[in-house]
């Protein structure tokens, strides 16, 4: 039992003895006594009454809260005191001081060569047992091999650390250990100075700035590591990842739902939110990307890549002037070559007058885009957004047709309305095709009517002749049909019996195979899994219907309450 627990128990027993004594029994305070105690407390706080005095003669601050100044019942105080709030000598005196040095780790100066009695069976250290060993469990412990005996830990003194001592990260640290780190850095610096002196001897033109080029790489990184910046130590730059608060958000520039689309994930608005405005401070991200030197820079980069693939030694960043000269020369020659080819084609075939025609919008005097202008030439409203058409071609007329396929339907067939043709991709013959189709249909209707009339006449004439011979032939046919029926029934019955017998034989074989497999599985499960053959319980093939039926009949049903009686 600890010292604190012993003190608490003794105080409890003393309190019980006090309660048992009639003279020392605490009396219940009356209302007048409570009022006087309250007035005394207020007077002490106001300074009109002297403060309370503890057992050592020191004044107690009247402004100390009651939950601090009042001692617990088991402490056994007879008057006002603050002794219970001060460090207890019986407890604090037994703790180890924070400046007490003690060794940590293992003692490598004393290494054992043989296993000692009472040591760890795994590593051979004498200061712990096998269950407390922190080394990797060996296949054969040091007790049996007498090899690789681990060093013992230092014999620690009787450490009774306090609350702060257990949580002090520098407790037991030897400042002399830092000397080894300083010596290591001094050796590295000395080696650098020797290499620098050797390099200067070999190349007198080299300067110290060349050696210090890679130093202080991250010297100012900590200073710029603040909210709103992203530091790249390799390039020594800082990137803003927050917008300026005075900026207007993109989605607030136009609150119309049908305006330019805003992507909240990437915070991008590619189209212009105010396309009808003559001038705007924000015309969309695509406008910024496709204006200025951005396009020319991208074209120069593509030209450099193509030139490198062709075998030219040119680079956009290393030799920009050379690349620009090559690009200008290339475009000049390309335009001249294309002009020569175009002129040669026009000289050979003609048609130069068609190239001088006005644009198609002016030529046809119509366009799908509706725009409205003011008197000064500015746009009143923006042009309507041109939606993408379907990927399927519409109103495409082929093979002299004046209507599309599917414009005509008759008797469950689709065709062309211009010629009544039901054959897709056929050539249109116009009104002649319509007349041919109408004649064919009319002839077909006349033929069908004649056929129906002839059928009714034949049926009426043959009904009288057949009524006489029907009675004689009916008796013969009934006898032959009965014999055939009975023969057919016997044949089908015989086939079904044979089929059922085959199925029973197959099921019987499947049941025997399932019993054999279950016995084999129980035998494999009873063996040790380390001695079991590899993939012995795996069979890669689809079971037949008979095997599935046998498995369902033979499988063990643990959920069945009558299983134990089987």
- Weakly modelled stretches of the chain, pLDDT under 70: 1-27, 89-94, 206-244, 360-361, 363-369, 381-395, 443, 446-449, 451-475, 535-540, 565-566
Instruction: Give the pLDDT confidence score for residue 515 in this predicted structure.
Output: 87
| Backbone φ/ψ region at 399: left (φ over 0), alpha (ψ -120 to 50), beta | left
As given in the structure block, the two tokens for residue 220 are 């100012």
Cut 0.85: pTM above it: no
Instruction: Give the pLDDT confidence score for residue 152 in this predicted structure.
Output: 94
Instruction: Give the pLDDT confidence score for residue 72 in this predicted structure.
Output: 87
CA separation, residue 100 to residues 89, 107, 152, 157, 240 (Å): 19, 19, 22, 10, 51
Contact 62, 45 (CB under 8 A): yes
As given in the structure block, the two tokens for residue 237 are 């730059």
Phi, psi of 441 (to 5 degrees): -65, -40
As given in the structure block, the two tokens for residue 192 are 């650098």
As given in the structure block, the two tokens for residue 417 are 């309305």
DSSP string, 40-76: HHHHHHHTSSPPPB-TTSPBPPTTS-HHHHSPPGGG-
Contact 254, 233 (CB under 8 A): no
Measured N-to-C along each axis, helices 431-526 and 545-554 cross at an angle, to the nearest 10 degrees, of: 40
Instruction: Give the pLDDT confidence score for residue 185 in this predicted structure.
Output: 95
DSSP string, 357-401: PPPHHHHHT--S---EE-TTS-EEEPPPP-PPPPSS--S---TT-
| Backbone φ/ψ region at 377: left (φ over 0), alpha (ψ -120 to 50), beta | left
Return the residue matching tokens 């065709």. 415
Instruction: Give the pLDDT confidence score for residue 226 in this predicted structure.
Output: 52
Contact 106, 151 (CB under 8 A): yes
Return the residue matching tokens 């048609």. 351
Bridge partners (DSSP) listed for residue 410 = 413
Question: In which element (H, E) is residue 15 found?
Answer: helix 3-20
Report pLDDT digits (tens) over 343-366.
999 999 988 888 887 776 676 666
Report pLDDT digits (tens) over 227-240.
555 555 555 555 55
Phi, psi of 259 (to 5 degrees): -80, -165
Distance of CA 378 to the CA centre of its chain: 51
Give me the sign of the Cα torsion angle 451, 456, 459, 464: negative
Measured N-to-C along each axis, helices 293-310 and 320-349 cross at an angle, to the nearest 10 degrees, of: 90
Instruction: Give the pLDDT confidence score for residue 184 in this predicted structure.
Output: 94
From 407, 443, 412, select the one nearest 420 (Cα to Cα): 407
Instruction: Give the pLDDT confidence score for residue 228 in this predicted structure.
Output: 52
């Amino acid at each position: 039992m600890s010292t604190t627990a012993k003190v608490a128990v003794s105080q409890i027993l003393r309190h019980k003895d006090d309660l048992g004594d009639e003279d020392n029994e605490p009396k219940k305070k009356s209302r007048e006594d409570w009022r006087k105690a309250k007035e005394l407390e207020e007077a002490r706080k106001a300074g009109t009454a002297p403060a309370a005095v503890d057992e050592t003669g020191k004044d107690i601050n009247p402004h100390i809260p009651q939950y601090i100044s009042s001692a617990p019942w088991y402490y056994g105080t007879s008057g006002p005191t603050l002794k219970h709030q001060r460090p207890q000598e019986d407890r604090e005196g037994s703790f180890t001081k924070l400046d007490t040095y003690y060794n940590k780790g293992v003692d490598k100066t004393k290494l054992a060569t043989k296993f000692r009695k009472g040591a760890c069976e795994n590593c051979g250290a004498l200061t712990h047992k096998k269950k407390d060993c922190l080394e990797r469990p060996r296949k054969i412990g040091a007790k049996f091999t007498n090899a690789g005996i681990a060093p013992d830990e230092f014999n620690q003194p009787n450490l009774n650390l306090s609350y702060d001592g257990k949580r002090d990260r520098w407790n037991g640290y030897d400042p002399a250990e830092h000397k080894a780190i300083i010596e290591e850095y001094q050796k590295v610096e000395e080696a650098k100075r020797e290499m620098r002196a050797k390099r200067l001897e070999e190349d007198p033109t080299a300067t110290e700035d060349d050696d210090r080029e890679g130093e202080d790489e991250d010297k100012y990184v900590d200073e710029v590591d603040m909210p709103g910046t992203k530091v790249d130590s390799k390039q020594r730059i800082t990137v803003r990842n927050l917008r300026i608060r005075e900026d207007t958000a993109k989605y607030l520039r136009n609150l119309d739902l049908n305006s330019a689309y805003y992507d909240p994930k990437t915070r991008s608005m590619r189209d212009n939110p105010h396309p009808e405005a003559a001038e705007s401070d924000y015309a969309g991200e695509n406008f910024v990307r496709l204006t200025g030197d951005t396009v020319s820079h991208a074209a120069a980069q593509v030209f450099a890549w193509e030139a490198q693939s062709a075998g030219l030694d040119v680079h956009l960043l290393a030799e920009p002037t050379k690349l620009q000269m090559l690009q200008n020369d290339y475009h000049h020659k390309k335009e001249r070559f294309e002009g020569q080819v175009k002129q040669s084609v026009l000289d050979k075939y003609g048609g130069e007058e068609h190239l001088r025609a006005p644009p198609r919008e002016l030529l046809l005097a119509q366009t799908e885009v509706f725009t409205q202008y003011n008197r000064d030439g500015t746009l009143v409203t923006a042009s309507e957004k041109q939606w993408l058409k379907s990927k399927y071609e519409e109103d495409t007329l082929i093979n002299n047709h004046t209507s599309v396929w599917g414009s005509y339907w008759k008797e469950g067939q689709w065709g062309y309305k211009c010629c009544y043709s039901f054959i897709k991709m056929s050539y249109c013959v116009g009104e002649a095709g319509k007349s041919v189709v109408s004649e064919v249909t009319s002839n077909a209707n006349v033929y069908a009517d004649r056929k129906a009339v002839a059928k009714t006449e034949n049926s009426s004439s043959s009904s009288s002749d057949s009524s006489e011979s029907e009675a004689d032939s009916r008796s013969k046919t009934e006898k032959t049909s009965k014999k055939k029926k009975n023969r057919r029934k016997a044949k089908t019955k015989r086939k079904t019996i044979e089929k059922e017998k085959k199925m029973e034989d197959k099921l019987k074989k499947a049941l025997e195979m399932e019993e054999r497999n279950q016995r084999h599985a129980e035998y494999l499960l009873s063996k040790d899994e380390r001695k079991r053959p590899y993939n012995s319980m795996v069979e890669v093939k689809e079971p037949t219907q008979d095997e599935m039926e046998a498995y369902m009949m033979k499988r063990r049903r643990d959920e069945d309450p009558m299983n134990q009686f089987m």
